[in-house]
Amino acid sequence: MIKHLWTSIRMLVLLGILTVVVYAAVVTGISQLLFPYQANGSLVHYHGRVIGSKLIGQSFTSPKFFDGRPSAAGYNAAASTASNYGPTNPALIKEVQANMAYILKTNPGVKPSQVPVDLVESSDSGLDPDISVAAAYFQAPRVARLNGLPLSSVRHLVATHTVGRFLGMYGNSYVNVLEINLALLHLIHHRS
């Protein structure tokens, strides 16, 4: 009996080392070797400083920038969550109304029916880094006006930062908010 128990303990330790240490080291090594950008969180640098991840949405507080989707998690990656409000929940209606009021305030002259839905409803994760192409074009006049840029330049920025459907048929086209805002900064600095 003790012989079998000792054999079981040795096998448990051996399998633990193989599955926890060796496997993790091999997978980490391969990912660092073949995909270092992705393996390190798809971090985005600006002037030598990490300013975010391409994969995690964040808040842009100035109306001079493109807004991302609202976040039920307050853009906190540690608290990634949806609001889980049902369509008849008064809290959801209040949240959407507050988001709509912000959009109408920062984009004067537009009607609620013109606002793309992804600008007023939070994403399921609360950290969606992308917006629809319609949402990006919707914001282009405001971004152009507040930055003193020609609308055609900002619309061109949206067009060049639009990511098409996967394999041309899956999903929807989108614009990564952090990347387009960095391109906007680049455009502003090179114009002045």
pLDDT-derived band at 161 (thresholds 50, 70, 90) equals very high
What pLDDT digit, counting tens, does each position of 88-139 carry?
Answer: 888 888 888 888 998 999 888 889 899 998 888 887 777 788 899 999 999 9
The CA distance from 42 to 178, in Å, is: 12
The CA distance from 186 to 120, in Å, is: 28
Domain ranges of the chain: 61-191
Residue/partner pairs of 79-82 with CB below 8 Å, 24 or more apart: 79/126, 80/125, 80/126, 80/127, 81/125, 81/126, 82/122, 82/123, 82/124, 82/125, 82/126
Looking at residue 81, what is its pLDDT?
A: 66
State pTM to two decimals.
0.78
- Out of 34-38, 124-128, 184-188, pick the least confident: 124-128
Pairing between strand 43-46 and 49-53? Answer: antiparallel
Asked if 129 and 55 touch (Cβ cutoff 8 Å), the reply is yes
Angle of helix 177-191 versus helix 133-147 axis, rounded to 10 = 30
The CA distance from 155 to 187, in Å, is: 12
What pLDDT digit, counting tens, does each position of 114-126 carry?
Answer: 999 888 888 777 7
